[in-house]
């Protein structure tokens, strides 16, 4: 019974590590220009929006994994 719970925790940590790596490698170096004095604000805003979308996707995936694991536990 504890194996599915540990697999959920493992999947959660894998998603956290992958998400952090994606943020550092791809989203961190992004920069937008052409907005004058608003460049830092636009850069931060776009990065926040991308990060929030990524967080939403990660939470959705974890919910699906959790539901699958706990349905499997309750059936047996």
Per-residue pLDDT reduced to its tens digit, 43-69: 888 888 988 898 898 889 888 888 887
The per-residue pLDDT for 62 is 82
Rg, C-alpha atoms of the chain: 18
Of the candidates 15, 20, 21, the one whose C-alpha atom is nearest the C-alpha of residue 60 is: 15
The per-residue pLDDT for 76 is 61
24 falls within a domain: no
In which domain, by residue range, is 56 found? 40-71
5 falls within a domain: no
Residues sharing a CB contact under 8 Å with residue 62, sequence separation 6 or more, in sequence order: 8, 11, 12, 15
- Structural domains of the chain, count: 1
26 falls within a domain: no
The per-residue pLDDT for 30 is 79
Angle at 27 between CA 25 and CA 28, to 5 degrees: 75
The model's confidence at residue 13, banded by pLDDT at 50, 70 and 90, is confident
31 falls within a domain: no
């Amino acid at each position: 019974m504890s194996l599915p719970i540990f697999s959920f925790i493992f999947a959660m940590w894998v998603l956290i590590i992958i998400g952090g790596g994606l943020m550092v490698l791809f989203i961190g170096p992004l920069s937008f220009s052409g907005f004058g004095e608003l460049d830092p604000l636009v850069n931060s805003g776009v990065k926040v929006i991308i990060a929030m979308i990524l967080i939403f996707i990660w939470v959705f995936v974890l919910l699906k994994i959790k539901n699958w694991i706990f349905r499997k536990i309750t059936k047996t």
